[in-house]
């Protein structure tokens, strides 16, 4: 029942009408929404292709069934929703793909495994038979990462194409586990990275779309007594709930692209035997998995609660989004454990910085450890807090300080004779904080880098920059103590940052609907009475409620209990 | 019993039973509560299947059956005291969700508050005897917290002396009332009253909705269930659409306002009693926040004592996960919060009863502050409990996600508290209105009393920027009283900041309302800080009332942890306000970690003291005996998917797929 897909097609009574409250939000565009959609998709042709297939379908339903008679695996995407939505070069360049699929052999399912699958002819680059793959058109002139999709119709691959570092299917179909814990790393990393785009980010994006659209259709109370009831999105408190989530959704979308890029580069190197990047890749994938799942869980639930009573109805689509994404805090590594893994990586590199005479070559994501010093935040006026360089440095400063501090405390304990494992446990909260600060810094820095690529499109650059600023300032103000602690920021600067933050809320308000439209999620994929594109919220709620089995299948409880009970009570008179 | 749990209980430094007495309000009340709970536990009529394995219709059916048996049982057991009925219902209904519940909680009280003597004589006996079942239909699809926006109309027709009820738009359809969907046959409907061409605002009407005997909707009434929800599966929240539906003039509740037979409207004299009901319900919800969070803590802490994982030192046996500092840091601040809210809940109940006596004697002087305080505390405690329950669930790892943990149910049942009886943000802004009013009052030279009296200090300029430096020396992080002072400073500072920002906006723009909206995030923060201060104050104030030394010690540690944790989570406010220095903050963090270690040996006994029956926890992970793994396995076997060895979907879908190969 929870996952029932309702018909989102409007009925005759209201079919041609877009809710005027929503309609007006789409007038006076300050940027080209379609262009932003294209940027999010990685290019116009991928927008087009995606629309033909559907939106952000997940890939966990793909099956790989072992056929012992030919010693092959048969890969299949049995349903439309099993179509691989593969972030990366699949759309046009890749000849092989690493596919995660549920392995079946000897009649049993053994869970997710990796398979190497040739998808295109090495001669003419055309898709191999049985493979439907995203666009390979001749106009390969985009610099951004693109997205592709992949459908498999009973594709056969040799038994050897299963990644068997840690488990294996013998020729007769027997399933054998093997390998060392380290060899699990790579597969775990693959899974974590894939989860970001397939599970976490879409949940937050969908929740934002639903809550934001509902918030311009819903009216409540009056801001001024003389005026009609206001759209709830016009309340500052509602903006304060939703816009940081929207900014986070955009942040994560762009950050994911960069993570994927780094992942692919490193993956190729690792396959070729160069494992220099493995520790950083591992730490980054652990930290990003933990952070993105934490924030997407919180954000989706926040969006649900921002929809008041109707957010509690399954018809809003929000409870199902929340309950699905919330499982992510534990699978593929419990988040606290993952943060602590990132912390170990940070600590190790910090000690290296400390002990080496010359500046060591640090992995890219932690180069700030060498440069972040004891300076002060230079901001003098409100607008200074809209400088990406300024706030990126602030986050670097805090992260570096917290890492230094956790290392120091650990060192104090161990040098007082406490066993290093016990000492680690006694300082675990500090390591956790350090890792979180590091991840936050990474996301701010990365969002800023993505932003730079948009400079050639000033209108879009402007709206995305506001989101980037909001993302950073929201993080800063939510963790204010960390920035004030050592006097890096002054109390007067906090006032300036707060002012900058509030000014962003009202600027983003104007573009809010267009920014959610740009994600281009179909009504079917939102499956929400509150979040449909046409904004006919109440009509849908009423119609969908009437379809509930409780309304269509009579009332046995009345016949069984209420009727005799009421009758009995009356007859006592 | 699980040996880990036994060992933990033996090692406690205090007597959990005595703490239970304190929480219940005395040993006699503990005894009576358990007596009533045992009536239910030992009665075969109350046995039923685990709700987790049932469909929504089945769960609704069980709830209806229970409502029916409960009326009889309460009579049999001679339970009539409202609090005792509450104890009974809590265990009996498990999620405390009852389709017939609104008949008692809303229909009857509204009749009592707003019905004339004649109306009460007519309607009270049948509703009390459940010959009819009533509900209360206020919210509409497009309108909730802002009541004046409701669109349902009741137009008086003097020719027939009837009201004509209409739902003129799709947004005006009544939406959400509990028990409306399938159970009730009457509803008190709130509608805009029109007579002689004038609108007189919202009034309440008794509306028959289903035919007695057949239970079919009456002509002109469209009624049904609003469909699946996050939780509240047992409840038939409903919709109601009325199309020129006529009811007699006498069905308008006329204790205050009246419509004469000729259609003349008579204005109400004075109606402040509805205020009282709101205050009562909200203060009750503060207690519910405490209970729900206490349940979640009980489950997560017991599980963390039974669950072993990883190694702290290589070669050692796997430790209980509660020995990891990160796990203690997740759970103990929440445990401290649960105790804080228990005391706040008791305080609210007490205050309500005290003030209620004043009100009945015509003294309304304390009502505005109580109204402001309950609104804010309802929001503050429900927001905190809401995220706390979810944090407990996540602290149980993968198993927390299973319904066998009971945690998902506690969460989905509790979370609507953030919305109903006043949406939390709106509640916080009501509190803010009172704070700003008090602040302005102080500025105009009048002193204020009660919980906001700290604002008096602002006016006498005692908190001056240059004097702020004097504050830190006064904060002793080991003294609950001193920490209460620190929270008081933070509240004063944030109220003042919000008030100043409001002033600044007023200078820039003309309208008061727009200025209010542009300051509302600050105002909510000020209210939160005020409520946080009140909670710390009540918690620390209760410590001195406890005679038992070992219990006082353990509660003091929890109180300190609660206060210090709040400081560390809001350190920006304390630094920004100059209330604490950097080095004090370092001490706060250090002391907090020490407290985690100090509280650790008493964790099991502390949650035992909440004294929840296993049935009311509804959790395999939180069982008193700690035998979780064997019971998880038994629990899973009950799943309907396990009724057959091979599920039908295998034959339908998987087998054909494989045979194609």
3 state SS for B153-193 = EEEEECCCCEEEEECCCHHHCEECCCCCCCCCCEEEEEEEE
CB B639 within 8 A of CB B53: yes
Cβ atoms of residues B131 and A570 within 8 Å: yes
CA nearest neighbour of B387 among A301, A240, A329, A289: A301
Which has more confidence, B202 or B464? B202
Cβ(A512)–Cβ(A31) below 8 Å: no
Q: How far is B513 from chain A (nearest CA, A)?
A: 6
Instruction: Please check the confidence at residue A90 and state whether its pLDDT lies above 50.
Output: no
Helices marked H in B396-453 — which ranges?
397-400, 407-414, 424-443
Whether B421 sits among the annotated catalytic residues: the reply is yes
Distance of alpha carbon A338 from alpha carbon B123, whole angstroms: 62
At B265, list the tokens: 């409207």
Tokens describing residue B237: 């929240």
Q: From B585, which residue of chain A is nearest by alpha-carbon distance?
A: A485
Distance CA B241, CA B149 (A): 17
Interface residue B280 vs chain A (CB under 8 A): no
Q: Which domains does chain A have, with CATH numbers?
A: 63-170 (2.40.110.10), 189-358+382-518 (1.20.140.10)
Taking Cα atoms as reference points, which of B132, B87, B429 lies closest to residue A565? B132
pLDDT at A141 over 80: no
Q: Provide φ and ψ at B401, rounded to 5°.
A: -80, -20
Closest by Cα among B422, B278, B169, B514 to A222: B514
- As separate numbers, helices (DSSP H) first and strands (DSSP E) second, chain B gives 26, 11
Parallel, antiparallel, or unpaired for β B174-175 and B238-242?
antiparallel
Structure tokens at A28: 């006076």
pLDDT at A265 over 60: yes
Residue B351 CB-density burial (10 A; 0-12 exposed, 13-18 middle, 19+ buried): middle
What gap in Å lies between CA A241 and CA A478, rounded to an integer? Answer: 13
Tell me whether strands B221-225 and B153-157 are parallel, antiparallel or unpaired: unpaired
Contacts A323 to B, Cβ<8 Å: 408
Instruction: Note whether A432 contacts B: Cβ–Cβ < 8 A.
Output: yes
For the segment B181-204, the average pLDDT, to the nearest whole number, is: 96
Q: How far apart are CA A265 and CA A257, in angstroms?
A: 12
Answer whether residue A4 shows pLDDT above 60: no
- Among all residues of A, which ones are annotated catalytic? 332
Distance CA A31, CA A12 (A): 33
Asked if B398 reaches chain A (Cβ–Cβ under 8 Å), the answer is yes
For residues B561 and B588, give the distance between their C-alpha atoms in angstroms, rounded to a whole number: 10
How many C-beta neighbours within 10 Å does residue A79 have? Answer: 11
Answer yes or no: do A63 and B657 touch at CB < 8 A: yes
Question: Which residue in B643, B656, B558 sits closest to B609, CA to CA?
Answer: B558
Query: Measured at the alpha carbon of residue B456, what is the angle toward residues B454 and B462, in degrees to the nearest 5?
Result: 90
**Can you tell me the distance from the alpha carbon of A453 to that of B66, in angstroms, rounded to the nearest whole number?**
64
Taking CA atoms, what residue in A is nearest to B171? Answer: A538
**Within the 29-88 window of chain A, which residues sit less than 8 Å (CB to CB) from chain B?**
63, 65, 67, 74, 76, 78
CA distance linking residue B444 with residue B459, whole number of Å: 9
| Long-range contacts of B347-351, Cβ-Cβ distance < 8 Å, separation of 24 or more | B347/B538, B348/B283, B348/B286, B348/B287, B348/B374, B348/B377, B349/B283, B349/B284, B349/B287, B351/B283
Which of helix, strand or coil describes residue B257?
coil
Q: Decide: B1 and B608 in contact? Cβ < 8 Å.
A: no
**Residues 135-164 of chain A whose Cβ lies under 8 A from any Cβ of chain B:** 154
pLDDT at position A275: 82
**How much of chain B is helix, strand and coil, in % rounded to 5?**
60, 10, 30
Q: How many CB atoms are located within 10 Å of the residue A286 CB?
A: 27
pLDDT in tens, B543-602: 999 999 999 999 999 999 999 999 999 999 999 989 999 999 999 999 999 999 999 999
* pLDDT tens-place string over residues B144-181: 878 888 999 999 999 999 999 999 999 999 999 999 99
Residue-level pLDDT at A139: 23
Query: Range with the lowest mean pLDDT among A13-22, A486-495, B266-275, B538-547?
Result: B266-275
SS3 per-residue string spanning A175-193:
EEECCCHHHHHHHHHHHHH
* A452 CA: distance to closest CA in chain B (Å): 31
Does A173 touch chain B if contact means CB atoms closer than 8 Å? Answer: no
pLDDT, greater one: B650 or A1: B650
Strands of B71-151 (E only): list them. 134-137
Instruction: Note the pLDDT of residue B490.
Output: 95
B660 touches chain A (CB under 8 A): yes
pLDDT in tens, B94-151: 677 889 989 988 899 899 888 999 999 999 999 988 899 999 999 999 998 788 889 9
Strand A63-67's sheet: what is its strand order?
A108-118, A96-105, A63-67, A72-76, A155-158
Measured distance CA(A393)–CA(A376) in Å, rounded: 10
User: For A563, which of B215, B314, B329 is closest by C-beta distance?
Assistant: B215
Residue of B nearest to A224 (CA): B513
Q: Give me B309's structure tokens.
A: 């994982």
Query: What are the helix (H) ranges across A385-522?
Result: 388-415, 420-426, 428-452, 458-478, 480-484, 491-517
CATH number of B102-268: 2.40.110.10
- Token duo for residue B97: 């969700």
A498/A505 Cα distance (integer angstroms) = 11
Structure-token match 């199902």, residue found? A320
Q: How far apart are CA A165 and CA A251, in angstroms?
A: 35
What are the C-alpha distances in Å from A503 to residues A109, A480, B65?
54, 18, 56
Q: Decide: residue A408, CB within 10 A, 0-12 exposed, 13-18 middle, 19+ buried.
A: middle
Q: For B627-635, which contacts have Cβ atoms below 8 Å and span 24 or more sequence positions?
A: B627/B1, B627/B2, B628/B2, B628/B303, B628/B306, B632/B399, B632/B404, B635/B50, B635/B404
- Note whether A425 contacts B239, CB cutoff 8 Å: no
What ipTM, to 2 d.p.?
0.89
* Distances, alpha carbon B296 to alpha carbons A537, B291, B338, B395, in Å: 35, 9, 9, 10
- Does A510 score more than 60 pLDDT? yes
- The answer, yes or no, to whether residue B614 has pLDDT greater than 50, is yes
CA distance A376 to chain B (A): 16
Q: Judge whether residue A133 has pLDDT over 60.
A: no
How confident is residue A15, by pLDDT bands cut at 50, 70 and 90? low
CB B555 within 8 A of CB B401: no
pLDDT band at A194 (very low <50, low <70, confident <90, very high): confident
Distances in Å between the Cα of B217 and the Cα atoms of A59, B94, B213, B633 are: 47, 30, 11, 46
- Where is the binding site for FAD, in residues of A? 88
Q: The tokens of B526 are what?
A: 């000020």
Closest alpha carbon within chain B to A302: B387
Cβ contacts (< 8 Å) between B230 and chain A: which residues? Answer: 312-314, 319
pLDDT for residue A465 is more than 90:
yes
* pLDDT (0 to 100) of residue B634: 87
- For the segment B496-549, what is each residue's pLDDT rounded down to a tens digit? 999 999 999 999 877 899 999 999 999 999 999 999 999 999 999 999 999 999
When pLDDT is cut at 50, 70 and 90, the band that residue B457 belongs to is confident
B315 touches chain A (CB under 8 A): no
Give the minimum alpha-carbon distance from B386 to chain A in angstroms, rounded to a whole number: 11
The candidate with the shortest Cα–Cα distance to A329, out of A366, A365, A300, is A300
When pLDDT is averaged across residues B411-438 and rounded to a whole number, the result is 94
Please name the residues in contact with B543: beta carbons below 8 A apart, sequence gap of 6 or more.
Answer: B480, B552, B555, B556, B559
Could you count the other beta carbons within 10 Å of the beta carbon of residue B35?
Answer: 12
Under 8 Å CB pairs connecting chains A and B tally to 247
Is the pLDDT assigned to residue B464 strictly greater than 70?
A: no
Angle between helices B56-77 and B82-92 (to 10 degrees): 140
Q: Calculate the CA A330 to chain-centre distance.
A: 16
Report the binding-site residues of A. 88
Mutate to test the interface with A, among B179, B575, B595 (most CBs of A within 10 A): B575
Q: What is the CA radius of gyration of chain A?
A: 26
Instruction: Report the run of H or E that residue B484 belongs to, with start and end.
Output: helix B480-508
Q: Are B154 and B163 in contact (CB under 8 A)?
A: yes
Q: B398 and A330: CB-CB below 8 Å?
A: yes
CB-CB contact of B530 with B431 (8 Å):
yes
- Active-site pick, B37, B140, B151, B421: B421
Crossing angle of helices B273-306 and B407-414, in 10° steps, is: 160
Task: Say if residue A522's pLDDT is above 90.
Answer: no
Tokens 């629309």 label which residue?
Answer: A51
Tell me the average pLDDT across A105-123.
Answer: 73
> Domain spans of chain B?
102-268
């Amino acid at each position: 029942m929870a996952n029932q897909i309702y018909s989102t097609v409007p009925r005759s009574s209201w079919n041609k009408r877009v809710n005027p409250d929503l309609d007006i939000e789409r007038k006076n565009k300050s940027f080209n929404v379609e262009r932003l959609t294209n940027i999010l998709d990685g290019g116009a042709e991928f927008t087009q292709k995606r629309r033909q297939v559907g939106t952000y379908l997940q890939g966990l339903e793909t099956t790989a069934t072992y056929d012992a008679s030919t010693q092959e695996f048969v890969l299949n995407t049995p349903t439309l929703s099993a179509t691989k939505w593969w972030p990366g070069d699949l759309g046009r360049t890749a000849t092989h793909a690493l596919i995660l699929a549920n392995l079946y052999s000897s009649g049993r399912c053994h869970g997710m495994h990796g398979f190497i699958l040739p998808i295109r002819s090495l001669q003419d680059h055309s898709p191999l038979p049985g493979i439907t793959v995203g666009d390979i058109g001749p106009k390969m002139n985009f610099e951004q990462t693109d997205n592709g999709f992949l459908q498999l119709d009973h594709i056969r691959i040799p038994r050897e194409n299963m990644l068997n570092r840690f488990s294996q299917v013998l020729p007769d179909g027997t399933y054998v586990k093997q390998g060392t814990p380290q060899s699990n790393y790579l597969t775990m990393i693959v899974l974590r990275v894939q989860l970001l785009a397939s599970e976490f980010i879409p949940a937050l994006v969908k929740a934002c779309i639903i809550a934001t659209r509902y918030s311009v259709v819903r009216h409540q109370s009056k801001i001024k007594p003389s005026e009609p009831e206001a759209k709830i999105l016009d309340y500052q408190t509602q903006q304060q709930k939703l816009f940081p989530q929207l900014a986070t959704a955009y942040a994560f979308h762009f950050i994911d692209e960069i993570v994927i890029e780094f992942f692919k580069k490193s993956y190729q190197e690792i396959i070729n035997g160069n494992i220099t990047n493995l520790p950083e890749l591992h730490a980054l994938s652990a930290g990003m998995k933990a952070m993105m799942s934490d924030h997407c869980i919180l954000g989706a639930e926040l969006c649900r609660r921002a929809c008041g009573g109707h957010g509690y109805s399954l018809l809003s689509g929000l409870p199902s989004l929340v309950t699905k994404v919330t499982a992510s805090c534990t699978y593929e590594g419990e988040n606290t454990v993952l943060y602590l893994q990132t912390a170990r990586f940070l600590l190790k590199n910090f000690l290296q910085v400390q002990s080496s005479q010359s500046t060591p070559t640090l992995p890219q994501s932690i180069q700030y450890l060498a440069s972040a010093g004891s300076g002060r935040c230079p901001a003098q006026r409100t607008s200074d807090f809209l400088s990406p360089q300024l706030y990126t440095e602030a986050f670097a400063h805090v992260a570096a300080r917290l890492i230094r501090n956790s290392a120091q405390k650990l060192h104090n304990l161990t040098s007082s004779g406490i066993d290093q494992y016990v000492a680690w446990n006694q300082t675990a909260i500090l390591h956790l904080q350090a890792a979180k600060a590091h991840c936050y810094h990474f996301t701010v820095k990365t969002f800023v880098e993505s932003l730079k690529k948009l400079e050639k499109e000033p209108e879009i650059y402007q709206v995305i920059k506001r989101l980037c600023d909001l993302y950073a300032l929201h993080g800063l103000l939510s963790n204010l103590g960390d920035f004030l602690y050592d006097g890096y920021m002054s109390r007067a600067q906090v006032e300036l940052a707060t002012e900058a933050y509030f000014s962003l809320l009202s600027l983003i308000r104007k573009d809010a609907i267009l920014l959610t439209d740009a994600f281009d999620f179909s009504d079917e994929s939102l499956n929400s009475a509150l979040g449909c594109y046409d904004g006919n919220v109440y009509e849908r709620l009423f119609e969908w409620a009437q379809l509930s089995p409780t309304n269509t299948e009579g009332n046995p409880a009345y016949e069984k209990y209420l009727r005799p009970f009421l009758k009995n009570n009356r007859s006592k008179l | 019993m699980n040996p880990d749990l036994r060992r933990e209980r033996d090692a406690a430094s205090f007597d959990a039973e005595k703490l239970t007495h304190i929480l219940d309000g005395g040993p006699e009340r503990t005894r009576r509560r358990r007596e009533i709970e045992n009536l239910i536990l030992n009665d075969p009529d109350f046995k039923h299947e685990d709700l987790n394995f049932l469909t929504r219709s089945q769960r609704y059916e069980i709830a209806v059956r229970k409502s029916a048996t409960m009326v009889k049982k309460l009579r049999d057991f001679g339970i009539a005291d409202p609090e005792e009925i509450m104890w009974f219902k809590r265990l009996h209904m498990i999620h405390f969700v009852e389709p017939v519940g609104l008949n008692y909680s809303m229909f009857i009280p509204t009749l009592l508050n707003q019905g004339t003597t004649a109306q009460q004589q007519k309607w009270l006996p049948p509703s009390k005897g459940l010959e009819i079942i009533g509900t209360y239909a206020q919210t509409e699809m497009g309108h909730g917290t802002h009541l004046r926006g409701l669109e349902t109309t009741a137009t008086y027709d003097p020719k027939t002396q009837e009201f004509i009820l209409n739902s003129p738009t799709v947004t005006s359809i009544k939406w959400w009332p509990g028990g409306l969907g399938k159970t009730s046959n009457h509803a008190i409907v709130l509608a805009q009253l029109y007579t002689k061409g004038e609108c007189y605002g919202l009034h309440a009407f008794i509306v028959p909705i289903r035919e007695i005997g057949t239970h079919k909707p009456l002509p002109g009434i469209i009624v049904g269930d609003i469909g699946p929800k996050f939780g509240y599966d047992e409840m038939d929240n409903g919709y109601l659409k009325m199309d020129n539906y006529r009811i007699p003039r006498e069905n308008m509740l006329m204790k205050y306002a009246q419509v004469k037979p000729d259609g003349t409207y008579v204005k109400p004299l004075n109606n402040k009693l509805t205020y009282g009901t709101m205050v009562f319900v909200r203060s009750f919800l503060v207690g519910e926040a405490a209970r729900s969070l206490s349940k979640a803590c009980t489950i997560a802490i017991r599980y963390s004592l039974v669950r072993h994982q990883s190694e702290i030192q290589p070669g050692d046996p796997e430790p209980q996960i509660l020995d990891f500092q990160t796990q203690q840091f997740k759970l103990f601040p929440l445990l401290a919060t649960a105790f804080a809210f228990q005391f706040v809940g008791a305080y609210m109940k007490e205050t309500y009863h005290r003030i209620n006596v004043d009100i009945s004697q015509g003294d309304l002087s304390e009502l505005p502050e109580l109204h402001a305080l309950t609104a804010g505390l309802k929001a503050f405690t429900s927001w905190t409990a809401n995220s706390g329950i979810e944090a407990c669930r996540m602290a149980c790892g993968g198993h927390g996600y299973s319904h066998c943990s009971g945690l998902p149910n506690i969460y989905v049942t509790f979370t609507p508290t953030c919305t109903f009886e006043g949406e939390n943000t709106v509640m916080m802004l009501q509190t803010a209105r009172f704070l700003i009013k008090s602040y302005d009052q102080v500025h105009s030279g009048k002193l204020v009393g009660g919980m906001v009296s700290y604002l008096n200090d602002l006016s006498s300029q005692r908190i001056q920027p240059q004097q702020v430096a004097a504050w830190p020396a006064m904060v002793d992080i080991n003294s609950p009283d001193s920490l209460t002072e620190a929270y008081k400073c933070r509240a004063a500072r944030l109220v003042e900041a919000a008030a100043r920002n409001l002033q600044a906006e007023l200078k820039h723009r003309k309208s008061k309302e727009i200025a209010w909206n542009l300051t509302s995030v600050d105002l909510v923060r000020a209210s939160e800080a005020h409520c946080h201060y009140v909670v710390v104050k009540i918690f620390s104030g209760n410590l001195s009332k406890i005679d038992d030394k070992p219990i006082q010690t353990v509660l003091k540690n929890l109180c300190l942890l609660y206060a210090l944790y709040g400081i560390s989570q809001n350190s920006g406010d304390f630094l920004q306000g100059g209330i604490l220095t950097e080095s004090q903050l370092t001490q706060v963090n250090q002391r907090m970690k020490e407290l985690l270690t100090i509280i650790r040996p008493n964790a099991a006994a502390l949650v035992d003291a909440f004294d929840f029956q296993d049935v009311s926890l509804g959790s395999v992970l939180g069982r008193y005996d700690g035998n979780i793994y064997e019971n998880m396995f038994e629990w899973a076997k009950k799943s309907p998917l396990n009724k057959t060895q091979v599920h039908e979907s295998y034959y339908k879908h998987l087998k054909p797929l494989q045979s194609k190969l």
